[in-house]
Amino acid sequence: MSGQTPLPAKVPPASAGPSAAIADMPLEVIGQPGVPFVEIETLRAREFIPAAKEALTSLLKEQANGKLIRPVFNWAGRNSLFPLHWGLACCAIEFAAAFGARWDAERFGVVPRSSPRQCDLLIVNGTVTWKVAHKLIALYEQMPEPKWAIAMGNCATGGGPFRTAYSVVPGVDKLIPVDVYIAGCPPRPENLLDGILRLEQLIKERGA
Amino acid sequence: MKTNELAARLTSKFGEGILGVDEFPGLLGRVRFDAAIASKLFHTFRDDLGFAHLTMVGAIDWIDHREVFYTLWSDADRVYVMLSANLPSDAPTIASAVPVWPSANAHEREAWDLVGIRFEGHPDLRRIFMPEGYAYHPLLRSFKIHEPEDLEVKVRSE
Amino acid sequence: MSEMWVNMGPQHPMTHGLWNLRVRIEGEVIKDVEPEMGYLHRGIEKISEDRHYNEIITLMDRTCYVAGLAWEQLFIVAAEQALHITPPERAEYIRVLSAEFQRIASHIMWYAAFVQDIGLMTPFLYGMRDRDLILDLFQSYTGGRLTYEYMRVGGVRNDLPLGLTDRCRKVCDWLMDRFVEYDRLCLSSTPFHERCDGLGVLEAPEAIAYGVTGPMLRSAGSRRDLRKDRPYSVYDKLQFDVATATTADVTGRYLVRMEEMRQAVRIIRQCLDWLDDHPGPVMAAQLPRWLGAPYAPVGNEAYLLKRNYPTGVGFSMVEEPHGEAGAYIVNDGGEHPYRVKFRSPVLINIWASKRYLPGYRVADIPPIMGSVDVCVGECDR
Ligand code: SF4
């Protein structure tokens, strides 16, 4: 991701050293929205690690309440969303296809994990029935904060073709808060990737 | 085997218990029988007539009565046959086929769950799809499907 | 040692869907199992009573989401029987072509998921890559990747586009090479054999008593295949062999599915040749007006057109990738079917786990249940 975007003017030339950009900034500014660590994204990986190390150490040293580290967490968290490995219905097949060879969702840092304790994203990929509703809530509760949810497909959004069925929850937002809705029956893998990128945008703007 | 052959063999064995053997498109026939002889009939079909596969058990709600149907497959004759029995709506009870064909287990639980047929002698007759404690048998004609908004109103008002 | 019950599911990497396997274990040994289904029960049979025949096809794709076209065919065969309609032959060939491609796609999906279960990651990526080629073909003549809504009562929605048969041939050639690669990846791998050989044995007589069908039954040496035993559509005009194995274990099921894919390619090639030589209509000419092609009139209009249409029943059994699927349709002359009942092979195959799981270890559950090829959508309907 980092390689292609043009460097914003604020970042000093690479020769000055990446750490200079952060070390020179007054600490009060770093906490402000918009200014601080957005530029980190444009750093190369090999420059990033020492820079991040330095910044974190200095922040931790100076900041007892941890408020200023938030942008770092925000940046790191939104670029490594771990969804729960859980297939509900048909949309789960497209969910799996998105992790296959052609779409390769892992290049966005999205890696499905099997335990809710390791996840921060619940992708509801299919029809939710009343029988599974309390299990879904339990899984959502088990995920550590901060966490997000994506309703993938028409079923999760509003019941889809099974809206009138006696056993189907008409929309998963009746059970858990949903951040991004993806339309489609099923949505194509591109749609899912788009939804995940939109969620990243949302996290960036709204904060965790 | 032909349909009339089957009819002759069954009526000679069960007499009154067989209510009729109809032609049925694509099948050897449909045997309508009295629910009282169910268990004996199942044994006859498996042991004497060679229908070793039970492929389907289902039920239909005809409002004034309910129908249970079984489809069987014979490897030797390469045909399907359908057995069907009418049960009264107020006491839809029939002998279970599980002792004869263990594969009936899941089918019969499904028929109990969705249409409310009681299978006597079933080892574990519980709901299979709907959660335990659900009050309705959803595939009955009297159970109307509704827009979810109605359901919400109902849940909230309770 | 004391016994205990363990829940595997509804969220568990083993399940591949939404179901729960309750296992009674003593130490590491499985004593008893109890599957718990219904987490994906969507009331498809009930909704069908409220839909027109052509609208139910939409639900069929969602019923079995890895083999949508096979289930469409299942419903269509029964519905045409119930409504007394005969489709043109070209439509039948297109249906068989679609169903066989769907069989390959479904088996590849199974392969990808199953081999990942036993710890090999590469086959997942290979499998998904090759499956996408088949989905691309589907996309170019049905418009959908997963949910097609392609078949109609009386035929299929549209004819194949120009040049599709040649693309199909190319994909077939590519796939035949890949099958060799799949086999090399798995059968030459020691971990594969150590995790699969001799597990989940279910001999033929027991399998028949428990109603098990499909590759699970054929891996026990039975030659039962509805495409041969009770040919529907045009299968009686096509040459193919029934794939069998003798070991009745997980490896046997793997071998059967691999061979079935090769046979499916054989069937597809015959269909392609036939389709090239026989252009023609793909929709029945004498369709009752209320069913109108390709889109059905809805609501009152259809009802008015349909009055006095004869009643009927339709019964069909189809060799679907997972096993034998069945449909029973009662047409009472009304606008919608009176009752639609489906038989799901996977539900019965899972239920037989009471027979083939006890005695093995807990760590054997993923390969054994993986070899069943679970698709919860069709179990729960
Ligand atoms: S939105 Fe469509 S494809 Fe997705 S789970 Fe619902 S029915 Fe299946």
Q: Is A186 on the interface with C (CB under 8 A)?
A: yes
Using pLDDT thresholds of 50, 70 and 90, give the confidence band for residue A170: confident
Which atom of ligand 1 is found nearest the CA of A186?
3
**Which residues in chain A touch residue B147, judged by CB atoms under 8 angstroms apart?**
163-164
A155 close to ligand 1 (CB < 6 Angstrom): yes
Are C292 and B30 spatial neighbours (Cβ–Cβ below 8 Å)? no
Contact A185 C147 (CB under 8 A): yes
Residue B54 is encoded by which pair of tokens?
């039970």
| Chain segment B105-154, per-residue pLDDT in tens | 889 988 898 888 888 888 888 888 888 878 788 888 887 776 555 555 44
Q: Is B91 on the interface with A (CB under 8 A)?
A: no
| Residue from C222, C336, C348, C380 whose CB has the most chain B CBs within 10 Å, to mutate | C348
CA max distance for chain B? 60
Are C82 and C336 spatial neighbours (Cβ–Cβ below 8 Å)? no
* Omega of the bond leading into A144 within 30 degrees of 0 (cis): no
Coil, helix or strand for A126?
coil
Neighbours of chain B (3+ CB pairs under 8 A): A, C
Look up tokens 């009152």; give the residue: C300
Cβ neighbourhood burial of A9 (10 Å; 0-12, 13-18, 19+): exposed
R_g of chain B, CA atoms, integer Å: 18
A187 close to ligand 1 (CB < 6 Angstrom): no
- Cα–Cα distance measured from residue C326 to residue C231, given in angstroms and rounded to the nearest whole number: 14
Start-to-end C-alpha separation, chain A: 21
Which of A90, A162, A169, A188 best tests ligand 1's pocket when mutated (most atoms within 8 Å of CB)? A90
Please state the rounded mean pLDDT for residues B15-37: 82
- Give the residue with greater pLDDT, A15 vs B86: B86
A89 close to ligand 1 (CB < 6 Angstrom): yes
pTM: 0.84
| Chain segment A124-164, per-residue pLDDT in tens | 988 888 888 888 888 888 888 888 899 998 988 888 888 88
Percentage of chain A lying above the pLDDT 70 cut? 68
Which contiguous run of DSSP H or E holds residue C35? Answer: strand C29-36
How does the average pLDDT of chain B come out, rounded? 82
Contact A86 C16 (CB under 8 A): no
Domain ranges of chain B: 3-150
Look up tokens 């789960």; give the residue: A92
Residue of A nearest to C377 (CA): A89
Residue C235 is encoded by which pair of tokens?
């299968």
Query: How many contacts does A have with B, using Cβ atoms within 8 A?
Result: 22
Single out the residue of C321, C344, C294, C323 nearest to residue C142, CA to CA. C294
Per-residue pLDDT of chain C (381 residues; tens, 9 = 90+): 688 888 887 888 777 778 888 888 888 888 888 888 888 888 888 888 877 788 888 888 888 888 888 899 999 888 888 888 888 888 889 999 999 999 999 999 899 888 888 877 888 888 888 888 999 989 888 888 888 888 888 888 888 888 888 888 989 998 888 888 888 888 888 888 888 888 888 888 888 888 888 888 888 888 888 888 888 888 888 888 888 888 888 888 889 999 999 999 999 999 999 988 888 888 877 776 666 544 455 555 555 555 556 677 888 888 888 888 989 988 877 667 888 899 989 999 988 888 888 888 888 888 888 888 888 888 888
> What integer pLDDT is reported at residue C265 of this predicted model?
92
Contact A132 C16 (CB under 8 A): no
> What integer pLDDT is reported at residue A26 of this predicted model?
46
Q: Is B95 on the interface with C (CB under 8 A)?
A: no
Q: How far is B34 from chain C (nearest CA, A)?
A: 21
- Cα–Cα distance measured from residue C204 to residue B75, given in angstroms and rounded to the nearest whole number: 13
Q: Quick one: fold of B3-150?
A: Beta Polymerase; domain 2 (3.30.460)
Query: How many contacts does A have with C, using Cβ atoms within 8 A?
Result: 102
Q: Is B63 on the interface with C (CB under 8 A)?
A: no
Are C92 and C136 spatial neighbours (Cβ–Cβ below 8 Å)? no
- Cα–Cα distance measured from residue C51 to residue C62, given in angstroms and rounded to the nearest whole number: 15
**Which residues in chain B touch residue A159, judged by CB atoms under 8 angstroms apart?**
148
By DSSP bridging, strand A180-182 and strand A148-152 are parallel
- Cα–Cα distance measured from residue A80 to residue A97, given in angstroms and rounded to the nearest whole number: 19
**Which residues in chain B touch residue C50, judged by CB atoms under 8 angstroms apart?**
145
User: A57: Cβ–Cβ under 8 A, 6 or more apart, which residues?
Assistant: none
B136, HSE (Cβ side, Cα atoms, 13 Å)? 10
Q: How many helices (H) and strands (E) does chain B have?
A: 4, 7
Domain ranges of chain C: 43-380
By DSSP bridging, strand C151-152 and strand B65-74 are unpaired
Q: How far is B137 from chain C (nearest CA, A)?
A: 11
Q: How far is A133 from chain C (nearest CA, A)?
A: 9
Q: 3-state secondary structure string, A87-127?
A: CCCCHHHHHHHHCCCCCCHHHHCCCCECCHHHCCEEEECCC
Q: Please tell me the CATH code under which domain C43-380 is placed.
A: 1.10.645.10
| Atom 3 in ligand 1: residue holding the nearest Cα | A186
Contact C17 A92 (CB under 8 A): yes
Contact C18 A90 (CB under 8 A): no
Q: Quick one: fold of A80-206?
A: Rossmann fold (3.40.50)
A78: CA distance to ligand 1 center in Å? 27
- Cα–Cα distance measured from residue B43 to residue B39, given in angstroms and rounded to the nearest whole number: 7
The sheet with strand C3-8 has its strands ordered as: C3-8, C20-26, C29-36
Single out the residue of B107, B56, A102, B120 nearest to residue C128, CA to CA. A102
Please state the rounded mean pLDDT for residues A73-88: 82
A151: CA distance to ligand 1 center in Å? 11
**Which residues in chain B touch residue A130, judged by CB atoms under 8 angstroms apart?**
131
DSSP labels for C52-71? Answer: -HHHHHHHHHHHSTTSHHHH
- Cα–Cα distance measured from residue B74 to residue C187, given in angstroms and rounded to the nearest whole number: 36
Q: Is B14 on the interface with C (CB under 8 A)?
A: no
**Which residues in chain C touch residue A164, judged by CB atoms under 8 angstroms apart?**
47, 50
Look up tokens 């959508």; give the residue: C377
Coil, helix or strand for C120?
coil
Please tell me which of the candidates A90, A94, A135 has its beta carbon nearest to residue C377. A90
Which of C62, C63, C148, C381 best tests ligand 1's pocket when mutated (most atoms within 8 Å of CB)? C62
Please state the rounded mean pLDDT for residues A110-120: 87
Q: Is B75 on the interface with C (CB under 8 A)?
A: yes
Contact B138 A166 (CB under 8 A): yes
Residue of C nearest to B144 (CA): C46
ipTM, two decimals: 0.85
CA angle, residues A50, A51, A54, in degrees to nearest 5: 85
A185 close to ligand 1 (CB < 6 Angstrom): yes
Q: Is A53 on the interface with B (CB under 8 A)?
A: no
Residue C224 is encoded by which pair of tokens?
């039962």
Are B111 and B119 spatial neighbours (Cβ–Cβ below 8 Å)? yes
Contact C132 A185 (CB under 8 A): no
Q: Is A191 on the interface with C (CB under 8 A)?
A: no
Contact C39 A94 (CB under 8 A): no
- Give the residue with greater pLDDT, C379 vs A27: C379
Q: How many helices (H) and strands (E) does chain C have?
A: 16, 8
Look up tokens 């004996």; give the residue: B40
Q: DSSP letter at C5?
A: E
> What integer pLDDT is reported at residue C232 of this predicted model?
85
Please tell me which of the candidates A131, A163, A170 has its beta carbon nearest to residue B131. A131
Sign of CA dihedral C205, C210, C211, C214: negative
Percentage of chain A lying above the pLDDT 90 cut? 1
Look up tokens 């788009």; give the residue: A194
Question: At residue A151, what is the residue type?
Answer: A
A127 close to ligand 1 (CB < 6 Angstrom): yes
CA distances from A5 to A39, A190, C224 (A): 11, 21, 60
| Atom 2 in ligand 1: residue holding the nearest Cα | A185
Look up tokens 């990747």; give the residue: C145
Please state the rounded mean pLDDT for residues A63-69: 58
Q: Is B143 on the interface with A (CB under 8 A)?
A: yes
Are C327 and C75 spatial neighbours (Cβ–Cβ below 8 Å)? yes
| Residue from C8, C15, C18 whose CB has the most chain A CBs within 10 Å, to mutate | C18
| Residue from C36, C40, C48 whose CB has the most chain A CBs within 10 Å, to mutate | C40
Question: At residue C163, what is the residue type?
Answer: G
Look up tokens 């052609």; give the residue: A102
The pLDDT of residue A122 is above 60: yes
> What integer pLDDT is reported at residue C86 of this predicted model?
84
Start-to-end C-alpha separation, chain B: 58
Contact B143 A163 (CB under 8 A): no
